[in-house]
Amino acid sequence: MKFTAQQIAGLVNGIIEGNPETEVSSLSKIEQGEAGSLSFLGNPKYTHYIYNTKASVVIVNKDFKPEHPIVPTLIRVDNAYTAFATLLDHYSKLVSGKKGISVHAAIDESARLGEECYIGDFVSIGENVKIGDRVKIYPGSVLGDNVTVGNDTIIYAGVKIYAFCEVGESCTIHAGVVIGADGFGFAPQNDQHYEKVAQIGNVIIKNNVEIGANTTIDRATLGSTIIHQGVKLDNLIQIAHNVEIGENTVIAAQSGIAGSTRLGKNCMIGGQVGLTGHLIIGNNVKIAAQSGISTNVADDAIIMGSPAFDISLYRKTYVHFRNLSKIVERINVLEKTIKK
């Protein structure tokens, strides 16, 4: 499928510099650009590639000022990275425009499917499930009884969504995700064994949420585990029962959040961060990778370490951590001198 520079500029509200009829049929990195491909320049570190790239069309920021002649047709936009992301989204929708219901899918007669859906091989859809329009469910996924899925959501292969859970519109759930498994609830007994506490809540995922591969989100003991609108979860994340994650918060891979902890809006959580249970994390909080959080965190805080504290203080303190053996030696020498 081919597109002209003019058509692309219309999609990203860009200004053309060069031949508007230049055609492209593929996407490429600027350093690997080939004739007939579209690329972008978003990071100044890659500027030198634009002077020798073979890409036919390159998206650049409006304030880009070339220092040497440029062969490709340019499309100037407010933000090259955002514009290219928009095009990637359009491209993804074009190449994944599957429709139809596989004869190998098992769909309960009480389930309601919207228009233009795709249901792949060996998908299992339980009783009273409600699926919106243009939803895509890839092979091997399982939707339990009374699950609801909103319009334009994509559920990739092997996803398991337990009974009574709710998924909003325009969500993307990657392969191997498990939504609604039991929370980790066990009551210790006098004879040292543990009695399982029934987990009768659900998981509610709002609109425009993306969940990475093999991430797990546990159902609430009572009430709901809630992932609010715009949240982005990386691969291999564990979200425990009754956790609530605020709008537009992003969490990197291998992080874990214990039960009943609440995260605010617009937080950024690095990889391998661990949060203990029953915490309140404020809005706009940033937590560095591999941090351990065991106390509440105020709005706008930037923290690091385990246990975590203010990142600027951590960095100052870390200088002393690295020199601790030398400091101990100096103290030992001073003590010996004082005794003499």
Tell me the sheet residues that pair with 256.
238, 274
User: Are 126 and 141 spatial neighbours (Cβ–Cβ below 8 Å)?
Assistant: no
Give buried/exposed letters for 279-310 (b at 16+ CB in 10 A, else e). bebbbebbbbebbebeeebeeebbbbbeebbe
How far is CA 58 from each of CA 45, 80, 198, 256, 276, rounded to the nearest angstrom?
Answer: 16, 9, 56, 40, 46
Angle at 155 between CA 150 and CA 156, to 5 degrees: 170
Cis peptide before 69 (omega within 30 of 0): no
Q: Is the dihedral of CA 38, 42, 46, 51 positive or negative?
A: positive
The CA-based diameter of the chain, rounded to the nearest angstrom, is 92
Centre a 10 Å sphere on the Cβ of residue 318 and count the other Cβ atoms it contains.
Answer: 12
The HSE-up count of residue 330 (CA atoms within 13 Å, CB side) is 5
Answer yes or no: 241 catalytic. yes
Q: How far apart are CA 173 and CA 258, in angstroms?
A: 21
Phi, psi of 88 (to 5 degrees): -60, -40
Q: Determine the Cα–Cα distance for residues 220 and 323; give it in Å rounded to an integer.
A: 46
Catalytic pick from 48, 228, 241, 278? 241
Rounded Cα distance, 260 and 276, in Å: 9
Q: Is 5 left (phi over 0), alpha (psi -120 to 50) or beta?
A: alpha
| Count, residues in the chain | 340
Residues involved in catalysis: 241
